[in-house]
Amino acid sequence: MPKQRLNFIDRIKRIITGPLEKTVIEQNNQIISDFSGWHNKYFWGIEQSTLENNETIFAAISRLSSSIGSLPVKLYRQYEQQNEKVGQLLTRSPNQNMTPYIFLSRLETIRNEKGNAYVAIQRDRFMQPDRLLILNSDNVTPAIDDKTKELYYIIRNAGNKLVLHHMEMLHFRHISAMNSEVGISPISVLKNTTEFDTAVRKFNLEEMQKTDAFIIKYATNVSDEMKLNVIENFRQFFEDNGGVLFQEQGVEIEQKERKYVSEDVVQAEKLTRERVANAFGVPLALLNGDGSTMKSVEELNRFYVTHTLLPIIKQYEDEFNKKLLTVSQLEDGYYFKFNVKGLLRADVATQSEAYFKAVRSGYYTVNEIRAWEDLPPIEGGDKAMISGDLYPIDLPVGERNTPALKGGDNSDKKQS
Cα→Cα distances 211→132, 231, 255, 258, Å: 56, 17, 11, 10
Query: What span, in angstroms and rounded, lies between the C-alpha atoms of 401 and 399?
Result: 6
Q: How many helices (H) and strands (E) does the chain have?
A: 15, 13
DSSP SS3 for 134? strand
| Entry pTM | 0.69
Pair 343, 297: CB distance under 8 Å:
no
Before 90, cis peptide (omega within 30)? no
Q: The dihedral of CA 220, 226, 227, 230: what is its sign?
A: negative
The pLDDT value recorded for residue 176 is: 85
The torsion of the CA quartet 397, 401, 402, 408, rounded to 10 degrees, works out to 100
Neighbours of 293 (CB within 10 A): 10
CB distance 190 to 279 below 8 Å: yes
Q: 240: Cβ–Cβ under 8 A, 6 or more apart, which residues? A: none
Q: How many CB atoms lie within 10 A of CB 140?
A: 22
- Vertex 110 angle, CA 107 and 112, to 5°: 110
What is the number of residues in the chain? 416
User: Among residues 134, 44, 137, 128, which one has the least CA distance to residue 95?
Assistant: 134
Query: H or E stretch including 77?
Result: strand 73-77
How far is it, in rounded angstroms, from Cα 79 to Cα 51? 39
Question: Residue 235 carries which side chain, given as an amino acid letter?
Answer: R
Report the alpha-carbon distance of residue 198 to residue 54 in Å, rounded: 8
Enumerate the β-bridge partners of residue 252: 217
d(C-alpha 361, C-alpha 406), whole Å: 15
Query: Could you read off the pLDDT tens digit of each residue along the chain, which spans 416 residues?
Result: 344 443 444 444 433 323 323 333 233 333 334 454 444 433 333 334 556 677 888 999 999 999 999 999 999 998 888 989 999 999 999 999 999 999 999 999 999 999 999 999 999 888 899 999 999 999 999 999 888 889 999 998 877 888 999 999 999 999 888 778 999 998 888 887 767 666 656 655 655 555 555 566 666 566 667 667 766 776 666 666 554 455 555 556 665 555 555 566 677 778 888 888 888 999 988 887 665 566 777 788 888 999 999 999 999 999 999 999 999 999 999 999 998 877 776 667 777 888 888 888 888 898 888 887 767 888 888 888 877 666 776 778 777 766 555 555 544 444 44
Q: What is the DSSP string of 241-280?
A: TSS-----TTEEEEEPPP---HHHHHHHHHHHHHHHHHHH
